[in-house]
Amino acid sequence: MSTTAKAKAVVEVTAQELQGPGVVFCPNPKMPLWSTHPRVYIDVVTAPEGGQCPYCGTAYKLKAGEKVGHGH
């Protein structure tokens, strides 16, 4: 794996932090104001490795052992 393929940061999220059906948004509230970009929603549930922001490269994944409810 090349170093250019690595994400800038990996953010592990809990099931309670999901903003919708298995998604989080980036930039996240903990990011500094100067690093903002248009909000994008990233699916962290369907792929075991999570997802990556197309703007800043931050990777998001569900913490190990977290369960996502599928109730309506």
Note whether residue 72 is domain-resident: no
Domain region containing 28: 1-37
Residue 22 lies in a domain: yes
pLDDT the model gives residue 1: 39
Please report whether residue 12 resides in a domain: yes
Number of folded domains that form the chain: 1
Query: Does 49 map to a domain?
Result: no
Strands across the sheet with 59-62, in order?
10-13, 59-62, 51-52
pTM above 0.85, yes or no: no
Paired sense of beta strands 10-13 and 40-43, if any: unpaired
Report pLDDT digits (tens) over 5-50: 444 689 999 999 898 888 999 998 888 887 789 999 999 988 878 9
